[in-house]
Amino acid sequence: MNSIHILLVEDEAPKRIHIERFLKTLSSGVTITVAQSVNSALDALEKQLPDLLLLDMSLPTFDVGERESGGRPQGFGGIEILRHMTMTEINCPTVVITGYEAFLREAGKTVDLSQLRAELEKEFPQCLKGVLHYNSTYDEWKTELGKALAGFSIHAEIGK
C-alpha cells in the first residue's frame, strides 16, 4: 500500500493524541503532520498538500506556547481554513472532526452539528468528505472516520 499523508489540525492535546493513535493503528503507511492553529494549518498547506485534511472547527489564530496565548480564539477557525483553501484553489479532501455538538454564532444564535454539516456541504462541496462529532467516551467517531478513510484504502480496526 502507498503511504498517505494526513494533516491533522487540532489544538487540544488529548483529542489530537487520541486521533493520532487511532490513525496509526490503521496503517503503517500513514504519515501525520500536526498543526495547532489557523495560521500553522495555512502554513502547512502551503508547504505540502496532504492527501487528507482532518480539521477541527474551533481553533486559536496562532499556536499556543509558553509566551503565546494563541491570539483570538475562533469558534469557526476551520471554516476560515476551508475558505482560504477555496480562495487559493487548494483542493484537498477534508473531514471536519469537532468535539462540539453546537456552535454559538454572532448575535447569540446557535447552530447545531447537522446544520453546520449542511452549510459546509453546500459551501465546500469540492473538498468536504465528512463532518463528525468526536467524543472520547464512544467509538462512533472512529467508525465514521474509518468510513471516510476507506476511500484511501485504509480500513479501521475498531476496538483496538
Q: What is the pLDDT of residue 100?
A: 87
Q: Are strands 52-55 and 59-60 parallel, antiparallel or unpaired?
A: unpaired
Burial (CB count within 10 angstroms: exposed 0-12, middle 13-18, buried 19+), residue 27: middle
Q: What is the pLDDT of residue 28?
A: 76
Q: What is the pLDDT of residue 26?
A: 82
Q: What is the pLDDT of residue 115?
A: 93
User: Is domain 4-152 annotated with CATH 3.40.50.1820?
Assistant: no
State the distance between the two ends of the chain, measured CA to CA, in whole angstroms.
21
The three cell numbers of residue 68 are 503565546
Taking the domains of the chain in order of start, what are their residue ranges?
Answer: 4-152
Q: Over the chain (160 residues), what is each successive 10-residue block's mean pLDDT?
A: 86 94 86 94 95 93 63 75 95 93 82 93 94 92 87 50
The three cell numbers of residue 155 are 480500513
Rounded to whole angstroms, the Cα distance separating 100 from 44 reads 25
Q: What is the pLDDT of residue 40?
A: 95
Rounded to whole angstroms, the Cα distance separating 95 from 127 reads 9
